[in-house]
Structure 1
Amino acid sequence: MATDTPLRPADSAAFDEDRGSQARPVPPASGWAPRLRRLIGIEEPLLAWVPEERTRYTWYGALVVNTALLGALSMVLALSSFRSDLPLAAVVGVAVIWFWVVLALDSWLVSSTHGTTVRKWTLAVRFFLSVLLGLFIAEPILFQIFDKEIRQEIAVGNEQKVADYRGMLVSCNPTDGAATTDRPECARYQLKVAGSPAELARQIRTNGDRTAALRTQVADINKTLDDKLATEQRLCGPKYWIWRGGVRDVTITCERARKATSEYEKNSKVKTYEKQLQAMVDHGQALSARKDRAADDYQPLLQKAIDDKTRQRAADLDTDGILTRAHGLKEVAASDGFALFLTIVLHLLLLCLDAMPVLAKVLSGATTYDTLLGARHRTSRRLFAEELEVQHTCARLEHDVQRHRVRLDTDDRMRRLEHEHQRAQAERAARERAELEERMGRIMRARRSVTNPL
């Protein structure tokens, strides 16, 4: 009857099978999920003990990949906005490199948080790093979202800058050509336009001053020359003639006066000065004629110079630079309350998306996997400490063996040395005894030969 009695109830088989399905560790997983978990430093053999958390860490890895993809998209948008001259291959290459950088950084940030020994301040530091990365990723996306408004704001701002610049050019360059050097604000806005009425008036004044000075110089020379000619005529007149060779002739004083007049006329260069004076008078008349026409000719030239500088200023203004677009975004946000609210919300949203890998770790707290990993870390430290202790003990015992071996070898060598020393002493004593006996024999033979002569 005992052999017919079942060892366990019939309804316990299902329970045992269910327990068999919960055996730990579970078989390793396959597919793309383990690869996602491997990106964030998850060890599959350890996770096999808590398979319930596989889904969490799979989506955790997906968050890291999504952040890297968002960073690559942000880099593409940034390069296409700020460097539109780059070829597509260069843009794609830089985006791929930036994808890898963001992926590696986020993977390190997440993998370094595994385990129960991670402190809150280290999580805060990692979160701060992720926020910095998020700011760099979020800005190009915001620029693209508000692209139309930013471009409009930049265009309006540039138009205002150009209008202000043109206004300063007009203010600092009057149509009559009057100088504005006494105005400090006009130092960077003064134009050099030839033929202005004020410039011509200045040239006329300068030419008139030089003409007057030269005319005075020529008049002085002519007055001196007239005085010399009058002296010459007086000394060479009939009143001063003398009889020489039966005819009337001038005196030596007359000849000296004529010579002095000729040398003065030659050395004073009065003819040259008179030609220069006439040229200055003609140049002054020409300048006066140009001044009469300058009112009609100068204004078109000045207008053309102002237009050229204005066009150059408009061409030099930046429209796609990152700082210009950042300033445009600030102006857009400051000009409308809803735009400011939307900018802040989008900033926070993109920052949360970029910082989500670390933020998710902060929010989720320690998991069973972290507990197991921490336990394994502690076990590894204990095993390593025990291994070090075993190695230390073995090394100490090995040193004891070597010390004992050296001690025995030393004792053996000391005994050998003592035996060799005793043997050397015995041999030396034997040699001395043999030498003494030989000397004694020689002495005895010598005595016998003395006492028993032949």
Structure 2
Amino acid sequence: MATDTPLRPADSAAFDEDRGQSRPAPAASGWAPRLRRLIGIDEPLLAWVPEERARYTWYGVLVVNTALLGALSMVLALSSFRSDLPLAAVAVVAVLWFWVVLALDSWLVSSTHGTSVRKWTLLVRFFLSVLLGLFIAEPILFQIFDKEIRQEIAVGNEQKVAEYRGLLVSCNPTDGASTTDRPECARYQLKVEGSPAELARQIKSNGDRAAALRTQVVGINKTLGGKQSTEQRLCGEKYWIWRGGVRDVTITCERARRATSEYEKNSKIKTYERQLEDLVEQGQALAARKDRAADDYQPLLQKAIDDKTRQRAAALDTDGILTRAHGLKEVAGSDGFALFLTIVLHLLLLCLDAMPVLAKVLSGATTYDTLLGARHRASRTLYGEELQVQHACARLEHDVQRHHVEVDSTDRKSRLEHEYQRARAERAAAERAELEARMGRIMRARGVRT
């Protein structure tokens, strides 16, 4: 009978036992499925090819390792560049960066599943992973070459400070001579009071002002002396006159006196003389200061140079990312082996960071990719057929609706026609009844007259 016919050959059970697994394989448990879920693996589909579970598990391990490496890189970066941050803030930022790297690598790997993925898309994803790797690798390289970088930064800063101090000394001579005619000294000139040259300029300026004021005072005194001589001459005894029986001066004498008094008042001779005396005293004081300036100016200048040098040294960066990057470049450029080691470490860290996508590129399409591609094609085919069925059903539904509308329209037209004919018959009957009533009234009117 048909029910007695075996579904499989007798030796097929032994064949399944040799294979050790059925298709699909039983669902896996533990941490391995969670790792595979990170990279977008469909466990029911992978159950048809359980031989590839280990491969995709290690893909998930690579993604987690890259995220952990990124978190470690962020911790090293923050501890190097922002040592003032509290430990809790560093931990929060590291966890967030771990999540960002994990999400990005998970998307990069999960987007490569399926045979429909083209090689150029894999290269684009690999390029993105390399960019991410560069950001992760640099802080680790800074930490590996930390001692050499700090030494290079210290030497460079010492050289910068020495050059700065040399310019300060060159642009600020001990005799206080001006260096404004030197373009390189535009930003390195110090203002120190009491320099011999400055005092000499002040003495010269004071002498020029005193000489100009002395010339002005001499001119005013000369004019005032002339007016006083004229006054004395016009007010002499030979010009006296008798007025009221008393000898008195003339009106001309009185005018001369008023002119002398007004000129003395308007010329401000007293003020100018006091200013001249102050300038003379100030010149004497400046001359005394100049005699002592040679001993007092040099310590003040040296202190100003030392203060500026300390400020310059304190302002130089020692832990900034650009400073450390420049230091790493100097370390790599100063020694061939250091350059070789830097390149090797760069490549190693980049390969570690890009390993999830790199492993996918190197391994090529797997059986799981083939099955997933087949599922995608089947899904597209089924979806296309579903759309066709929906389109056919919608078209039939539209035909039914159209027929319903046509039937309903025909029925409504019939009812309208019937109502119209009935109304028309009623109007005709009413008109006949009205005509008959009129004829009856006419006939009755004629019968009465006859």
Q: TM-score, normalised by structure 1?
A: 0.93
Structure 1 position 399, deviation (Å):
1.1
CA distance in 1, matches of 2:352, 2:232: 114
Aligned position for 1:316: 315
Is residue 2:151 matched to residue 1:152? yes
In the alignment, the residues of structure 1 paired with residue 447 and residue 231 of structure 2 have an alpha-carbon distance, to the nearest angstrom, of 172
What per-residue deviation string (whole Å, max 9, x for no partner) do you get for residues 83-135 of structure 1?
00000000000000000000000000110110011111111111111111000
Partner of 1:27: 26
Aligned identity (percent) is 85
The Cα shift of 1:253 comes to: 3.0
CA-CA distance at 1:433 after TM superposition = 3.5
Q: Offset at 1:432?
A: 3.4
Equivalent-residue separation in structure 2 for 1:16 and 1:344 (angstroms): 53
For the 8 Å contact 2:317–2:323, the answer to whether it is kept is yes
CA distance in 2, matches of 1:209, 1:228: 29
Q: 1:262 to 1:449 in 2, by over 3 A?
A: closer
Q: CA deviation at 1:45?
A: 0.3
Report whether the alignment pairs 1:301 with 2:300.
yes
**Which range moves more in the overlay, 418-427 or 85-94?**
418-427
Q: Equivalents in 1 of 2:265, 2:20: separation in Å?
A: 133
Measure the CA separation in 1 of the matches of 2:258 and 2:432: 152
Amino acid at match of 1:46: L
Shift of 1:271: 2.2
State the 1:400 CA deviation: 1.1
Q: What is the CA–CA distance in structure 2 between the aligned matches of 1:90 and 1:375, rounded to whole Å? A: 48
Contact 2:150 2:327 (8 Å CA) reproduced = yes
One-letter amino acid of the structure 2 residue matched with residue 91 of structure 1 = V
- Structure 2, unpaired ranges of 5+: 1-5
> How many Å apart are 1:329 and its aligned residue?
0.2
Asked if 1:379 corresponds to 2:374, the answer is no
Q: Distance in 2 between matches of 1:325 and 1:140?
A: 10
Query: Partners of 1:397 and 1:13 in 2: how far apart?
Result: 50
Which runs of no fewer than 5 residues in structure 1 stay unpaired?
1-6
Letter in 2 for 1:126: R
In 1, distance between residues paired with 2:227 and 2:106? 110
2:194 partner SS: coil
Aligned length: 443
| Structure 2 Cα separation of the partners of residues 430 and 38 of structure 1 | 89
Given residue 303 of structure 2, which amino acid in structure 1 is its aligned partner? K
Counterpart Cα distance in 1 of 2:274 and 2:52: 109
2:171/2:188 contact within 8 Å kept: yes
Distance 1:174 1:440, change over 3 A: same
Relative to 1, partners in 2 of residues 1:362 and 1:232: Cα closer, same or farther, differing over 3 Å? same
Distance 1:137 1:308 in 2: 41
Change (3 A) 1:222 1:438: closer
Equivalent residue, structure 2, for 1:68: 67
**Higher mean C-alpha displacement, 303-312 vs 228-237:** 228-237
Change over 3 Å in CA distance of 1:441–1:272 after alignment to 2: closer
Within-5 A mapping of 1:80-159: 80-159=79-158
Distance 1:439 1:275 in 2: 146
Amino acid at match of 2:290: K
| Structure 1 residues 299 and 435: CA distance shift in structure 2, 3 A | same
Which residue pairs with 1:4 in the alignment? none
The AA in structure 1 aligned to 2:322 is L
Measured after TM superposition, the shift of residue 12 of structure 1 is 4.0
RMSD value, Cα: 2.0
- The residue aligned with 1:186 is 185
Q: How does 1:185-264 map to 2 (within 5 A)?
A: 185-243=184-242, 248-264=247-263
Q: Does the residue aligned with 1:45 lie in a helix, a strand or coil?
A: helix
| Aligned position for 1:392 | 391
State the AA in 2 paired with 1:346: L
Alpha-carbon distance between aligned partners in 2 of 1:266 and 1:422, rounded to the nearest angstrom: 134
**Which residue of 2 is the match for residue 432 of structure 1?**
431
Q: CA deviation at 1:247?
A: 5.8
Q: Does 1:277 align with 2:255?
A: no
TM-score by length of 2: 0.94
Question: Deviation of residue 278 (structure 1)?
Answer: 1.2
Q: CA deviation at 1:280?
A: 0.8
Determine if contact 2:16/2:22 at 8 Å carries over to the other structure: no
The one-letter code of the counterpart of 2:182 is: R
Q: CA deviation at 1:409?
A: 1.8
Q: Relative to structure 2, which stretch is displaced further, 13-22 or 318-327?
A: 13-22
How big is each residue's C-alpha offset from its partner over 1:298-330, in whole Å with a ceiling of 9 and x where there is no partner? 011000000000000000000000000000000
Offset at 1:448?
4.2
Q: How far apart are residue 439 of structure 1 and its match?
A: 3.7
Residues 273 and 433 (structure 1), Cα distance of their counterparts in 2 relative to 1, 3 Å cut: closer
Equivalent position amino acid for 1:147 in 2 = D
Q: Secondary structure at the match of 1:355?
A: helix
